[in-house]
Structure 1
Amino acid sequence: MKLPERVLAVNLNQLGDALFTTPALALLRERLPDAHIDVQAGGRAASVLAGNRDIDHLYARPPRRGMSRNAALLRTLRAGRYDAVILFQSNLSYAILARAAGVPVRVGFAQNACGPFLTRRVPPARRGEHLVASYVRLIDAFCEGGEVPAAGHLPLKVAVSAADHAFADGFLREQGLTTPVVALVIGTTRPQKRWPEEYWSVLADRLWDACGARSLLIGGPDEAAEAARIRAAARSPLVSAVGHTDMKQLAALLSRCSVVVTGDSGPMHLATAVGTPVVALFGSTDPRETGPWHGAPDHPVRGSVLYDALPCAPCGKSPTCGGRFDCLRGLTPERVFAATASTLGVGTWDPLPVIPTTGGV
């Protein structure tokens, strides 16, 4: 088979999902070193992929759904004269547009009615399979086999500039923060992923009293009021970076922290990409599928994952508990403190609650 010379990968919109595709893009570049590889991505995904050396050109997708977004993709497909398109996102409209644009090779997951419009159909992610592994399978099918790199060769990637690191260092210096600094990511995309607000101040105080660790609140502008309430409830001197960074600055800031305590969120994957240990709190989602990724399914997680696997979990986007979220409420501040202190190297911790991320490539 003649190797494709011009490839467009249609990426996802969310921060974490986009980071999940970076190992697959690295594999694609390894398999096709001379190909021109473009990526179209939307929202925060485009910002976190900027500067990725496996990508030749990055197109930012319009923020609004509907005709404007579809028209932008069709223009990109036609102008780029691509001989292959890879659909990381199982979007029926995108599959139809790829065929309408006459792209000869169209690879994607056989779900959401996309199958008839694809030339290579890949089974979607299996239950318990990490999404990174499913994206790697997509590239493996696109390249028609070959040896998948060994464990540890496919980490998440984010390009952080010297200016981003300078911002992070300046912020920490201005706030008088020295190690150990523990980042507390209070924001998530859905309420069923959100650790109880009143737990954060308790955790911060325990870290300060027992470990001398300063806590740094992380979140977007929408979490500003919550951050203010957490700071008011705490005895310890909390610092807030909520709403003060862009994605790359946040990555740099997380790289300077000793540990990141977080729910299933984009910043969790940013922390993983820059090599900072995480204490990840899971409830409504399966950590085997979206948990911290460190290069391969059997690669050890730096830090820990707390997940009680209640009978109702994972409920995904359809919680049945009436908003109680017992899956997260059961992850008490004392349990999370013990895991965090152990990761800091200043305590011991019973590892029984930890569910390591697993999956198959």
Structure 2
Amino acid sequence: MNHPVALDNIEKIAIFRALFLGDLFFTLPAFRALRERFPNAEITLIGLPWAKEFVSRFRHYLDRFLEFPGYPGIIEVDVNPTRTQEFLIQARDYGYDLAIQMQGNGTTSNGFVAELGARISLGHAVNGDDRLTISIPFTERPIKNEILRWLDLVSLLGAHSTPDLEFPIYPHERARAEELIRPALYNNGPIVGMHMGAKEDIRRWPAQRFGELAKILVKLFDATIVLTGTSQEIGLSKEVEAAVGSNVVNLIGKTDLGTFAAVVSSMDLLVTNDTGASHIAAATSTPSVVLFGPTTPEQFGPINQDLHKAVKAYEHVQSYSGSPLWELPVEPVLDACIYMLQNYYVKPSTAF
């Protein structure tokens, strides 16, 4: 049940979203909508430690970062009861006017947000959960893009915005990216990025097939392959480097988030699993081919389906064990890459 609330005098807002890069991109348009609706309010993000950098980069929407202390039933952080209680006491003393649950369906997270003690609380709910003052049912069907899901939520506050993504890139990050990617700029063909990692194995297309794809793109387009990823994914580069040889620039483990975004913005095409890299491509208007296995592009893919082409592994695999991505052949991914390069690639990148 929703209770009548007054939305005047909103000075302090807390948002709970203790998840990862791609997850924060899904809520970014909602953050923008909240800033436009409450231009003078202080907006705090309660999130995972890495998100402190995200808040710093998006200072035009978010003012303050607090590290999520953990809460029973929320798996992202181990629970220390003393730490959690101290955090909640401080939150209640701080006196939030509005607290918004953007963690999920609310089954557990609504408890945490309710205990922040805000005058008004908002979020999704299931099974008649009335712990928040304003809520809407969390539904799995019909499938809705996650960006639109969170925009719908904040619209209950009169907050509206477009679903467009963005990512500010600083001059020193562009300079560093130019230095790293310079070898690729000397070639006549397109710069094709490959991001082979993902948080979960079931969302990873095998590195061997990335290698096969890279070899064909080099042959057909004289492409230079730029590999990206975290330091934990360094081992994934071997398959591509063995298949392609000298037409590879390996940047796995060599970029921070901002430099990574600058590198992606210089590409003519990014081929990536369904992970944060796909949202960086969307935010920088870089054409991409995104590989989906257990997840669907309708829910988790970029809004612009012309600039970002989805390959649905489950449409090309008759049977599989574990993940359809593990069985996805090269041909449909190659077809998508050829289509994107023929329609969007004009000349060697001059992004810098």
TM-score bin, normalised by smaller chain:
0.7 to 0.9
Greater shift, 172-181 or 203-212, is seen at 172-181
- Is 1:188 paired with 2:194? no
Q: Report the counterpart of residue 91 of structure 2 in structure 1.
A: 77
Q: Report the counterpart of residue 117 of structure 2 in structure 1.
A: 102
Q: CA deviation at 1:80?
A: 3.3
Q: Quick one: distance in 2 between partners of 1:239 and 1:302?
A: 24
Tell me if the contact between 2:107 and 2:125 (Cα under 8 Å) persists in the aligned partners. no
Tell me if the contact between 2:55 and 2:64 (Cα under 8 Å) persists in the aligned partners. no
Aligned partner (choices 315, 340, 350) of residue 343 of structure 1: 340
Q: Quick one: distance in 2 between partners of 1:129 and 1:76?
A: 36
Aligned partner (choices 297, 304, 308) of residue 303 of structure 1: 308
Q: Quick one: distance in 1 between partners of 2:270 and 2:86?
A: 37
For 1:121-270, what aligned pairs fall within 5 Å after superposition?
A: 121-127=135-141, 128-141=143-156, 143=157, 145=158, 148-149=160-161, 153-173=162-182, 180-235=190-245, 237-270=247-280
Q: CA deviation at 1:106?
A: 1.1
Greater shift, 249-258 or 95-104, is seen at 95-104
Tell me if the contact between 1:7 and 1:35 (Cα under 8 Å) persists in the aligned partners. yes
**Residues 115 and 175 of structure 1, relative CA distance in 2, 3 Å threshold:** same
Deviations 1:126-156 (A, max 9, x none): 3310111111111012x1x47x44xxx3312
Q: Report the counterpart of residue 329 of structure 1 in structure 2.
A: 327
Tell me if the contact between 2:287 and 2:344 (Cα under 8 Å) persists in the aligned partners. no
**Residues 215 and 29 of structure 1, relative CA distance in 2, 3 Å threshold:** same
Q: CA deviation at 1:94?
A: 4.4
Identity %: 25
Q: CA deviation at 1:65?
A: 2.5
Q: Quick one: distance in 2 between partners of 1:197 and 1:107?
A: 42
- Residue segments in structure 2 that go unaligned for 5+ positions in a row: 1-5, 70-75, 346-352
Q: CA deviation at 1:309?
A: 4.0
- Residue segments in structure 1 that go unaligned for 5+ positions in a row: 295-299, 314-319, 349-361
Aligned partner (choices 79, 96, 99) of residue 66 of structure 1: 79
**Residues 251 and 73 of structure 1, relative CA distance in 2, 3 Å threshold:** farther
Deviations 1:167-218 (A, max 9, x none): 1111112666556211101001122211122111111111111111101111
Aligned partner (choices 36, 44, 57) of residue 42 of structure 2: 36
Q: CA deviation at 1:73?
A: 4.6
- Is 1:86 paired with 2:100? yes
Q: Could you tell me which amino acid in structure 2 is paired with residue 19 of structure 1?
A: F
**Residues 312 and 256 of structure 1, relative CA distance in 2, 3 Å threshold:** closer
Q: Could you tell me which amino acid in structure 2 is paired with residue 180 of structure 1?
A: P
CA RMSD of aligned residues (A): 2.9
**Residues 335 and 172 of structure 1, relative CA distance in 2, 3 Å threshold:** same
TM-score of the pair, normalised by structure 2: 0.83
**Residues 307 and 93 of structure 1, relative CA distance in 2, 3 Å threshold:** closer
Q: Quick one: distance in 1 between partners of 2:327 and 2:166?
A: 32
Greater shift, 92-101 or 49-58, is seen at 92-101
- Count matched residues: 328
**Residues 130 and 46 of structure 1, relative CA distance in 2, 3 Å threshold:** farther
Aligned partner (choices 55, 62, 65) of residue 55 of structure 1: 62
Deviations 1:270-318 (A, max 9, x none): 1111111110111211110001134xxxxx43131111545999xxxxx
Q: Quick one: distance in 1 between partners of 2:55 and 2:167?
A: 7
Q: Could you tell me which amino acid in structure 2 is paired with residue 14 of structure 1?
A: F
Q: Quick one: distance in 2 between partners of 1:311 and 1:119?
A: 46
Q: Could you tell me which amino acid in structure 1 is paired with residue 147 of structure 2?
A: V
Q: Quick one: distance in 2 between partners of 1:121 and 1:303?
A: 33
Q: Quick one: distance in 2 between partners of 1:34 and 1:160?
A: 25
TM-score of the pair, normalised by structure 1: 0.81
**Residues 31 and 347 of structure 1, relative CA distance in 2, 3 Å threshold:** closer
Tell me if the contact between 1:216 and 1:241 (Cα under 8 Å) persists in the aligned partners. yes
Q: Quick one: distance in 2 between partners of 1:73 and 1:183?
A: 42
**Residues 326 and 34 of structure 1, relative CA distance in 2, 3 Å threshold:** closer
**Residues 175 and 234 of structure 1, relative CA distance in 2, 3 Å threshold:** closer
Q: Could you tell me which amino acid in structure 1 is paired with residue 102 of structure 2?
A: F
SS of residue matched to 1:102: coil
